[in-house]
């Protein structure tokens, strides 16, 4: 009888040990699944999860998983590009009603364009931004100036846009160019998109303008994410002549 009871105890102990191993394996698999999920979401938790898993985390300004990866900018390999609405969320301005429509005729550079307005060809200077120089014969082409001009052409093309004046600004600048905000048909504010995507600096000429707070926030977030001209591999946020051959 003593041997039988001892044998039963050993068998029971073996089953308990196996049960503990199975429970530990299930908990490990569950913890790994949770860490993988957090890693895929990006952000601080994603970086922490990646570290615990021994996987590399994204460098500042780079996208994390392929699901959140952003297309590269023209002329700047591996530079992320973001939509302004994704960067600003609820802080993104809403397009007003009743704006005048104009046909884009030509993009001069990242902050200047020609439009057909009221049967006339009119040159516009965009309010609230300044892009690196690319066409002024008196100045050298600046770092990211060509990229900014190309991006403006991509966003505007020859499409119809909506123009918004700002009562707090002059009607025209000292060169006679009409001062306006330019809205795209999809509800995006072109002036703001150029800043948010890293192609332009926020620019206040004299008086604060209508969307100044949103534009400055867009520049801050583009800089934090090292987008476009803020990237160390492009201009590092500096206004300087473009490198020859680049």
State residue 37 phi and psi, 5-degree precision.
-65, -45
Q: What tokens does 245 get?
A: 């051959």
The active-site residue out of 95, 172, 177, 223 is 177
Residue 172 DSSP symbol: B
Cα angle for residues 58, 63, 69 (degrees, 5° grid)? 140
Sequence-separated (6 or more) residues with CB below 8 Å from residue 138: none
Q: Provide the β-strand partners of residue 121.
A: 116
The active-site residue out of 125, 180, 188, 221 is 125
Asked about 125 being catalytic, the answer comes back as yes
Asked about 133 being catalytic, the answer comes back as yes
How far, in Å, CA of 108 to CA of 106, rounded? 6
* Contact predicate 61/231, CB 8 Å: yes
Asked about 177 being catalytic, the answer comes back as yes
Q: How far is CA 233 from CA 134, 238, 242, in A?
A: 19, 12, 12
* Exposed/middle/buried for residue 226 (C-beta within 10 Å: 0-12, 13-18, 19+): buried
How far, in Å, CA of 78 to CA of 220, rounded? 21
Q: What tokens does 167 get?
A: 């009562």
The active-site residue out of 39, 133, 151, 221 is 133
* Contact predicate 214/118, CB 8 Å: no
Q: What are the residue numbers of the active site? A: 125, 133, 177
């Amino acid at each position: 009888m003593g041997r039988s009871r001892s044998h039963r105890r050993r068998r029971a102990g073996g089953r308990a040990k196996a049960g503990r191993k199975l429970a530990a394996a299930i908990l490990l698999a569950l913890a790994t699944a949770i860490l993988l999920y957090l890693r895929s979401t990006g952000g601080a938790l994603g970086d922490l999860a990646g570290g615990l898993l021994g996987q590399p985390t994204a460098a500042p300004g780079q996208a994390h998983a392929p699901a959140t990866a952003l297309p590269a900018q023209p002329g700047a390999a591996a530079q992320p590009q973001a939509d302004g609405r994704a960067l600003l969320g609820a802080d993104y301005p809403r397009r007003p009603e009743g704006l005048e429509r104009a046909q884009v005729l030509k993009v001069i550079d990242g902050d200047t364009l020609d439009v057909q307005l009221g049967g006339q060809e009119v040159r516009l200077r965009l309010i609230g931004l300044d892009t690196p120089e690319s066409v002024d014969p008196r100045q050298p082409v600046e770092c990211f100036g060509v990229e900014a001009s190309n991006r403006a052409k991509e966003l505007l093309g020859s499409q119809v846009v909506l123009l918004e004046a700002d009562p707090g600004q002059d009607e025209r600048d000292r060169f006679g160019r009409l001062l306006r905000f330019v809205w795209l048909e999809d509800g995006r504010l072109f002036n703001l998109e150029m800043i948010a995507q890293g192609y332009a600096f926020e620019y206040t000429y004299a008086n604060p303008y209508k969307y100044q707070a949103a534009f400055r926030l867009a520049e801050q977030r583009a800089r934090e994410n090292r987008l476009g001209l803020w990237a160390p591999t492009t201009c590092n946020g500096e206004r300087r002549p473009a490198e020859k051959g680049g």
